[in-house]
Amino acid sequence: MKKLLLIIAAFSFIHLGAEAQQERKARERMTPEKVAEKMTERMTKELDLSEEQKKEVYALQLENATKRAEEMKAQWEKMKANQEAQQEKLEAILTPEQKALWEAKKAELREKRKQPREGKKNFERNDSVQQKKSRR
C-alpha cells in the first residue's frame, strides 16, 4: 500500500512539473500594472481586504513592481554592455581567420537554439552516444 501511494505521488509530481514548465513557456511578460493587479487580487482573496486596503495594497505593489522592472532593465543593459566589451577585447586577440570561425560557430549555435527541441531527436542522440560507449 505504501509503495502504491509512493508511486502515485511520484507520478503526480512529475505530471505537475511538466505542466508548470509548459505554463512558464506560454506565460508572457507581465507589465508592472498587471503584476500589481494580480498580487492585489490574490491578497484580497486570501486576506479579505477592504476597498481602502485594496487601493493601498495596489499602490504599494505597483511601486514595487515598477522598481523591480527598472532594476531588471538596468541589469540587462549592464550585462549587454559587459558582453559587448568582452566581444571587442576578444576580437582584438583573435586573427581574422579565427574571428570568422568564431562568428560561424556563434551563428550555428543561434540557429540550433531557434529549433524546437524534440524528444525523439534527443533520444536518437542519446542512443548514438550509448552505441559509441558500447563499442569501446
> Does residue 123 lie within any of the structural domains?
no
Give the C-alpha separation, 105 to 109, whole Å: 6
The number of folded domains in the chain is 1
| pLDDT top residue among 114 and 23 | 114
> Does residue 83 lie within any of the structural domains?
yes
> Does residue 10 lie within any of the structural domains?
no
Q: What is the mean pLDDT of residues 79-95?
A: 92
> Does residue 132 lie within any of the structural domains?
no
Decide if 43 contacts 49 (C-beta within 8 A).
Answer: yes
> Does residue 2 lie within any of the structural domains?
no
Q: Kindly state the percentage of the chain with pLDDT values over 90.
A: 52
C-alpha separations of 36 from 14, 23, 72 in Å: 31, 20, 16
- Residue 1 scores a pLDDT above 70: no
pLDDT at 76: 95
Parent domain of 44: 19-113
> Does residue 53 lie within any of the structural domains?
yes
> Does residue 57 lie within any of the structural domains?
yes
> Does residue 127 lie within any of the structural domains?
no
Q: What is the pTM of this model?
A: 0.51
Give the C-alpha separation, 82 to 90, whole Å: 12
